């Protein structure tokens, strides 16, 4: 084998790996920025879905299957699962912002609404524990993902589980301190 044949064979072997590597270098940031908008991601055994996350949160919160939830979001559930989740989040955020404002002897909740650190503040004030903070932040994340996807295939049971976890946090925040 002469040097030219060797070079041609080497180029043949390395063409695809080099192309994929270069493509990854230039396109990894755009692909990573799309991850929050995915509803479902599959790679071999890895599968992340809204339903798995919310069902796991429900188990962690130790919510009974037959527990009665009184929330305006439950009234909306039969019409729109997305609207029900949004309503559940609004109720949770309203109660959390009111509790945070109460530590400042204020009724103005505008400083705390839409604040990504609201859950952390409630945790620092010992209103919620570490697991509840995790649930609070995960509920926010799931709600944001749901708000920004175009097509929603959210089942009634998944939306109901979200509402139950949110309502459980609402009750805890209302009755703590």
Cβ neighbours of residue 160 under 8 Å, at least 6 residues apart? 69, 74, 77
Determine the average pLDDT of the residues in 1-22. 85
Say if residue 46's pLDDT is above 50.
Answer: no
Residue of 156, 155, 163, 164 whose CA lies nearest to 85: 163
Say if residue 118's pLDDT is above 60.
Answer: yes
Say if residues 67 and 146 touch (Cβ distance below 8 Å).
no
pLDDT of residue 65: 62
pLDDT of residue 91: 92
Say if residue 71's pLDDT is above 70.
Answer: yes
- In the structure, what pLDDT confidence band is assigned to residue 41 with cuts at 50, 70 and 90? low
Are residue 96 and residue 160 in the same domain, yes or no? yes
What digits encode the pLDDT tens for the residues 126-157?
888 888 889 888 888 888 888 877 776 777 88
Are residue 32 and residue 69 in the same domain, yes or no? no
- In the structure, what pLDDT confidence band is assigned to residue 44 with cuts at 50, 70 and 90? very low
pLDDT of residue 67: 63
Say if residue 66's pLDDT is above 80.
Answer: no
pLDDT of residue 93: 92
Are residue 111 and residue 129 in the same domain, yes or no? yes
62 lies in some domain:
yes
42 lies in some domain:
no
pTM of the predicted model as reported, rounded to 2 decimal places:
0.66
128 lies in some domain:
yes
99 lies in some domain:
yes
| Domain around 11 | 3-37
| Structural domains counted in the chain | 2
pLDDT of residue 59: 75
Residue of 97, 126, 95, 92 whose CA lies nearest to 111: 97
């Amino acid at each position: 084998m002469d040097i030219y044949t060797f070079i041609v064979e080497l180029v043949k072997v390395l063409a695809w790996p080099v192309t994929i590597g270069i493509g990854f270098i230039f396109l990894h940031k755009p692909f990573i920025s799309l991850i929050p908008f995915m509803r479902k991601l599959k790679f071999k055994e890895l599968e992340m879905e809204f339903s798995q996350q919310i069902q796991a949160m429900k188990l962690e919160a130790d919510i009974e299957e037959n527990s009665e939830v009184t929330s305006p979001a439950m009234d909306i559930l039969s019409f729109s699962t997305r609207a029900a989740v949004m309503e559940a989040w609004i109720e949770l955020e309203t109660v959390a912002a009111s509790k945070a404002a109460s530590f400042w002897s204020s009724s103005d909740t505008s400083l705390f609404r839409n604040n990504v650190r609201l859950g952390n503040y409630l945790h620092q004030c010992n209103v919620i524990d570490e697991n509840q903070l995790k649930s609070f932040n995960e509920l926010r994340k799931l709600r944001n993902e749901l708000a920004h996807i175009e097509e929603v295939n959210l089942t009634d049971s998944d939306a109901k589980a979200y509402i139950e976890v949110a309502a459980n946090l609402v009750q805890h925040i209302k009755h703590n301190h």
